Amino acid sequence: MTGWSCLVTGAGGFLGQRMVRMLVQEKELQEVRALYKVFRPQNREELSNLQTKTKVTWLEGDILDAHCLRRACQGITTVMHTAANISVSASQRETIMDVNLKGTQLLLEACIQASVPVFIYTSSVAVAAPNSYKEIIQNGHEEEHHGTTWTAPYPYSKKLAEKAVLAANGSTLKNGGTLWTCSLRPMYIYGEGSPVLSHLVVETLRNKGVLRGGGKHSEVNPVYVGNVAWAHILASRSLRDPKKAASIGGQFYYISDDTPHQSYDDLNYNLTKKWGFQPDSRQSLPLSLMYWLAFLLEAMSIFLSPIYKYQPPFDRYLLTLTNSVYTFSYKKAQRDLGYKPLNTWEEAKEKTVEWIGSLVEKHNDTT
């Protein structure tokens, strides 16, 4: 387990950046190779100045560029594949499927050709649930065999990509070794740097401090970004251990933490109320009526498609995703990977709230 190196894909993203920061603190890690396509300049500069003995190599490239992936994998012992298109827009179906599924398949092939023995895939709770806003899943676990039935591009592409990753477990590498793979399924991820929260703050400030509702019927267990990154590191330790790899390889794990179960609307309020944000007090339409309205808007989009590209403001998948009861336990990850959240809810909330405060202050300084 000594003298290892790690490639992180999607290193310019919300989770990828946190993983790079955490990885450089790992003992015996000789190099972190960070592959990114898009990177905010200030974030790149901050990460480039990390005080560490570990070599950090930044690679700009595309997950769909097979030559780039082969080059990135040379000499690497562990791949953490977090690059993804997380859009839920049906209009971007081809792009989402290409990045999430084809990109993963190309990376798996590059690992086999470069004899990379460990592959950890950042999946999503979306591959498991929710399938219906009427279905209730509380403290779900891996043995219950939950699986998405949606053909919407994001959950469908992530489901197929995860299937490919787990099927590749046990593959023979070019040097005769064995490829060990596993998949981590985080809940909705929050924390400093979240693009979803950043967008929410900007929109709420434009809306005079009133939070837009839309998820009050949900009950979920969000997970802090630092805890998700930590789970990846623990998975890499386990798969690099010959005594553990055979039992963990080919497995998937739900990754949550001790963030209280709550609605998306309550989470947003809990993270922003310190800065004067208020929940939307307006009455909303019944969920069943909204669902049928979404169905009609989707039908209209299909009907108009030959002459006009109409993008509905919401669809049945997005409505179900944001208004369902679905929570999952991390007990299997605790048992197999030794996973225990690094950050408590109070610590995660404090860090996130302070970061949101910096966004509010920055917005006020420019207006």
Residue 89: the pLDDT is 77
> Would you please indicate which residues are annotated as catalytic (active-site) residues?
154
- Is position 360 within any domain? no
What average pLDDT does this structure show over 335-360? Answer: 98
**Which structural domain, as residue segments, surrounds residue 133?**
4-194+223-261+328-343
- Is position 293 within any domain? no
* Alpha carbons 222 and 34: distance in angstroms, whole number: 26
Q: What residues contact 114, with CB distance under 8 A and at least 6 apart?
A: 70, 73, 74, 75, 76, 174
Of the candidates 270, 98, 258, the one whose C-alpha atom is nearest the C-alpha of residue 187 is 258
* CA within 13 Å, CB half, 219: 13
Quote the percentage of the chain above a pLDDT of 90. Answer: 83
Residue 2: the pLDDT is 62
Report the predicted TM-score, pTM, of the whole model to 2 decimal places: 0.94
What are the tens digits of pLDDT across the range 91-129?
A: 789 999 999 999 999 999 999 999 999 999 999 999 999
Kindly tell me if the per-residue pLDDT of 320 is higher than 90: yes
Q: Do the Cβ atoms of 225 and 15 come closer than 8 Å?
A: yes
What are the tens digits of pLDDT across the range 248-266?
A: 999 999 999 999 999 999 9
Residue 366: the pLDDT is 81
What average pLDDT does this structure show over 302-328? Answer: 91
DSSP letter (8 states) at residue 219 = E
We report the CATH number of the domain holding residue 117 as 3.40.50.720
Number of domains in the chain: 1
Cis peptide before 306 (omega within 30 of 0): no
* Alpha carbons 51 and 205: distance in angstroms, whole number: 36
- Residue 270 pLDDT level (bands cut at 50, 70, 90): very high
- Is position 22 within any domain? yes
What are the tens digits of pLDDT across the range 10-28?
A: 999 999 999 999 999 998 9
Strand ranges for the chain from DSSP E: 4-9, 29-36, 55-60, 78-81, 118-122, 136-140, 180-186, 189-190, 210-211, 219-220, 223-224, 251-255, 278-279, 325-328
Q: Do the Cβ atoms of 263 and 193 come closer than 8 Å?
A: no
* CA within 13 Å, CB half, 83: 29
- Is position 102 within any domain? yes
Kindly tell me if the per-residue pLDDT of 340 is higher than 60: yes
* Alpha carbons 118 and 101: distance in angstroms, whole number: 19
What are the tens digits of pLDDT across the range 167-212?
A: 999 999 999 999 999 999 999 999 999 999 999 999 999 999 999 9
- Is position 280 within any domain? no
What are the tens digits of pLDDT across the range 61-77?
A: 999 999 999 999 999 99
Residue 309: the pLDDT is 84
Q: Do the Cβ atoms of 118 and 236 come closer than 8 Å?
A: yes
- Is position 276 within any domain? no
Q: Do the Cβ atoms of 302 and 338 come closer than 8 Å?
A: no
- Residue 47 pLDDT level (bands cut at 50, 70, 90): low
- Is position 152 within any domain? yes
Residue 39: the pLDDT is 73
* Alpha carbons 343 and 340: distance in angstroms, whole number: 9
Kindly tell me if the per-residue pLDDT of 310 is higher than 90: no
- Is position 206 within any domain? no
